[in-house]
């Protein structure tokens, strides 16, 4: 692979941090070095002064002391000995490739010069170093804790890295043996209740590597408009901790795309929370006003209301759609517009569902839920966040779409079942379990049992679909299918993870500005 190709890969990677024009990257060409490293190969030996800056483009790098892993840095991260660089002394640490990796590196002295010649990279450099320092200090903090406290903290913040490490290397991070870690895990598993959906899926939920930054940006955007202008809505959003869900349903992908999807989720959630406050007889009337305004904005028209709250929603949607037109293809934009329209229709019906009394009403809800559901929204956004991977599936997209329909059903079922134990939204009359129980005059327990049986049947069908798709593909196409299926499975696991760890746990309401922490 030539240097120009690697430079393009670097730009694609760093566009998620800050977009810089290609012509500026060309000015770096002569001073950047790209090198592939095999797993366990040394990127830099110990005993050498930290003259270079290393950025992991693919794979993963680790800081080791006498062969023992101390810190690990995934793709998109700088990797170096911070203390050695500051003191200009030989480093006692080595840098090792934890996986087959592609690393770009450059001389520190040259970096200072290029920042003056190409100032546009100054902000890029600040962000990369800030993220590196945050992660580096996080590891230093872990080293000061007992392993019983350090391991859960690592898994909460960097859980996606654990599965990429061998048990031995993972144990080294905490200065313990694999047997000690195993005993700890067995002890903890006995204390925590298992979530049946996660057991059925067999998938460990992950969070996005840049989750802190994504949370901050989405929170700032919500506060800017502001979407939460009353204490009740802000308090409920605090309880929900929506950023937790956002960084789990999109546990990988370019930051700007994840942020956009997260903002859309935050907007629709803010509208929901505000509208839940109205008396059910009045709900459809107010939803009609929101629906009319949203539809005008989706057509590219301006919309202004005398009600400040509505203007906040309309302005936020206008901002999102303006950004969408620079980020999304026409087909993707149309997909999002149709989903938002379906959301409005479904929510307007729900606002009057207090009076739903017949099987016809129940059929209407299920029909509307085939057009819009939270799972349909996030899986549609998954195609946008990973648009290149989705496009690469080519002829397999049709089969994958069929699999996605089952994934949407699984998310809907798990949400409907788990909301029964949630702190927020527990007693809303439009929840499927409540409606089924009331209209069909059966117990909630029986409804839940039927839903769980459906979940198992649909999951089995999805497993079969996955096998068929894999059998029909070969080589690179098979790898691409596996990668996308992995993303879908992680989304399936993200929802019950959110319900079990956030919505089903009583927490003290705090100021909204800290809701993403």
**What CA–CA distance (Å, rounded) separates 142 from 394?**
44
Starting at the edge strand found earlier in the chain, the sheet holding 78-79 runs: 33-37, 101-107, 52-58, 78-79
- Residue 82: how many other CB atoms lie within 10 Å: 18
Report whether 250 contacts 381 (CB < 8 A): yes
Q: Which residues pair with 36 in a beta bridge?
A: 102
- Indicate whether 185 and 233 sit together in one domain: no
Residue 128 lies in a domain: no
Residue 142 lies in a domain: no
- Indicate whether 501 and 408 sit together in one domain: yes
| pLDDT over 50 at 62, yes or no | yes
**Domain CATH for 83:** 2.60.120.10
pLDDT of 190 reads 46
Q: How far is CA 400 from CA 275, 292, 480, 488, in A?
A: 35, 34, 12, 10
pLDDT of 332 reads 94
Residue 98 lies in a domain: yes
**Domain CATH for 240:** 1.10.600.10
| pLDDT over 80 at 514, yes or no | no
Domains: count for the chain:
3
pLDDT of 511 reads 32
* Residue pLDDT, tens place only, 83-123: 876 777 899 999 999 999 999 999 988 888 888 888 889 88
pLDDT of 280 reads 57
Residue 25 lies in a domain: yes
pLDDT of 87 reads 72
Residue 225 lies in a domain: yes
- Indicate whether 238 and 275 sit together in one domain: yes
- Indicate whether 95 and 186 sit together in one domain: no
- Indicate whether 303 and 442 sit together in one domain: yes
* Top mean-pLDDT range of 93-97, 225-229, 430-434, 468-472: 93-97
- Indicate whether 355 and 467 sit together in one domain: yes
Confidence of residue 461 (pLDDT cuts 50, 70, 90): very high
**What CA–CA distance (Å, rounded) separates 23 from 3?**
15
The residue among 192, 216, 245 that closes a domain is 192
What are 350-354's contacts with CB under 8 Å, separation 24+?
Answer: 350/283, 350/430, 351/275, 351/278, 351/280, 351/283, 351/284, 351/286, 351/287, 352/280, 352/281, 352/283, 352/284, 353/280, 353/429, 353/430, 353/435, 354/280, 354/281, 354/429, 354/430
Residue 22 lies in a domain: yes
Burial of 109 (0-12, 13-18, 19+ CB in 10 A): exposed
- Indicate whether 443 and 383 sit together in one domain: yes
Q: What is the mean pLDDT of the chain?
A: 86
The residue among 123, 139, 168 that closes a domain is 123
| pLDDT over 80 at 185, yes or no | no
**What CA–CA distance (Å, rounded) separates 517 from 233?**
18
- Residue-wise DSSP of 385-453: HTHHHHHHTGGGHHHHHHHHHHHHHHHHHHHHHHGGG-SSSTT-TTSHHHHHHHHHT--HHHHHHHHHH
**What CA–CA distance (Å, rounded) separates 207 from 401?**
24
* Residue pLDDT, tens place only, 158-173: 877 887 888 899 999 9
Nearest CA-CA partner of 131 in 206, 214, 67:
214
Instruction: Tell me whether the omega of the peptide bond preceding residue 17 falls within 30 degrees of 0, making it cis.
Output: no
pLDDT of 193 reads 44
Nearest CA-CA partner of 106 in 37, 34, 58, 12:
34
Report whether 502 contacts 240 (CB < 8 A): yes
- Indicate whether 70 and 166 sit together in one domain: no
Residue 439 lies in a domain: yes
| pLDDT over 50 at 331, yes or no | yes
Residue bearing tokens 């998938």: 203
Report whether 217 contacts 266 (CB < 8 A): no
| pLDDT over 60 at 490, yes or no | yes
Residue 133 lies in a domain: no
- Indicate whether 244 and 344 sit together in one domain: yes
- Indicate whether 230 and 249 sit together in one domain: yes
Calculate what percentage of the chain has a pLDDT beyond 90. 50
Nearest CA-CA partner of 180 in 150, 156, 139, 136:
150
- Indicate whether 102 and 173 sit together in one domain: no
What are 211-215's contacts with CB under 8 Å, separation 24+?
Answer: 211/157, 211/243, 211/247, 212/134, 213/131, 213/255, 214/243, 214/246, 214/247, 214/255, 214/258, 214/259, 214/262, 215/243, 215/246, 215/247, 215/516, 215/517
pLDDT of 508 reads 35
pLDDT of 251 reads 94
Task: For residue 436, give its domain range.
Answer: 200-514
Point out the least confidently predicted range of 30-39, 202-211, 278-287, 425-434: 425-434
- Residue-wise DSSP of 138-179: HHHHHHTS-HHHHHHHHHHHHHHHHTTS-HHHHHHTTT--HH
Paired tokens of 171: 């144990």
- Indicate whether 91 and 182 sit together in one domain: no
The residue among 131, 163, 192 that closes a domain is 192
């Amino acid at each position: 692979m030539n240097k120009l190709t690697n430079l393009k890969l670097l730009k694609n990677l760093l566009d998620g941090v800050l977009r810089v024009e290609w012509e500026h990257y060309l000015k770096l060409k002569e001073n950047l070095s790209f090198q592939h490293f095999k797993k366990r190969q040394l990127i830099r030996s110990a005993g050498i002064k930290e003259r270079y800056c290393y950025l992991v483009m693919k794979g993963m790098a680790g800081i080791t002391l006498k062969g023992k892993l101390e810190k690990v840095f995934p793709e998109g991260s700088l990797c170096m000995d911070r203390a050695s660089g500051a003191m200009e002394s030989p480093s006692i640490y080595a840098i090792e490739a934890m996986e087959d990796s592609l690393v770009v590196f450059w001389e520190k002295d040259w970096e200072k010069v290029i920042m003056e010649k190409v100032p546009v990279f100054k902000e890029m450099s600040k962000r990369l170093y800030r993220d590196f320092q945050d992660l580096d200090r996080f590891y230093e903090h872990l080293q000061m804790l007992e392993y019983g406290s350090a391991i859960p903290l690592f898994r909460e913040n960097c859980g996606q890295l654990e599965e990429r490490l061998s048990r031995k290397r993972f144990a080294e991070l905490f200065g313990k043996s694999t047997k000690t870690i195993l005993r700890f895990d067995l002890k903890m598993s006995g204390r925590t209740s298992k979530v049946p959906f996660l057991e059925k899926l067999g998938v460990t939920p992950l969070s996005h590597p840049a989750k802190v930054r994504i949370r901050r940006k989405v929170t700032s955007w919500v506060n800017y408009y502001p979407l939460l202008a009353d204490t009740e809505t802000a308090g409920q959003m605090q309880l929900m901790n929506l950023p937790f869900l956002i960084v789990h349903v999109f546990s990988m992908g370019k930051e700007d795309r994840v942020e956009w999807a997260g903002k859309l989720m935050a907007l629709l959630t803010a509208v929901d929370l505000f509208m839940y406050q109205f008396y059910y007889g009045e709900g459809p009337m107010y939803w009609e006003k929101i629906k009319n305004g949203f539809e005008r904005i989706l057509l590219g028209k301006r919309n202004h209301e005398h009600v400040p709250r509505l203007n906040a929603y309309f302005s936020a949607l206008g901002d999102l759609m303006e950004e969408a037109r620079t980020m999304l293809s026409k087909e993707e934009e149309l997909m999002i517009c149709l989903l938002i329209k379906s959301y409005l229709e479904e929510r307007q019906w729900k606002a009057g569902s207090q009076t739903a009394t017949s099987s016809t009403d129940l059929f209407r809800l299920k029909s509307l839920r085939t057009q819009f559901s939270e799972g349909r929204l996030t899986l549609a956004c998954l195609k946008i966040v990973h648009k290149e991977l989705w496009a690469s599936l080519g002829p397999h997209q049709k089969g994958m779409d069929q699999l996605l329909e089952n994934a949407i059903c699984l998310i809907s079922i798990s949400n409907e079942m788990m909301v029964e134990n949630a702190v927020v939204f527990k007693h809303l009359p439009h929840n499927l379990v409540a409606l089924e129980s009331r209209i069909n005059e059966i117990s909630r327990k029986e409804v839940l049992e039927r839903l769980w049986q459906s979940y198992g049947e649909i999951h089995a069908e999805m497993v079969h679909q996955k096998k068929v798709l894999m059998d029909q593909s070969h080589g690179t196409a098979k790898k691409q299918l596996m990668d996308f299926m992995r993303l879908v499975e992680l989304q399936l696991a993200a929802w019950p993870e959110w319900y079990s760890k956030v919505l089903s746990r009583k927490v003290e309401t705090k100021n909204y500005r800290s809701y993403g922490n």
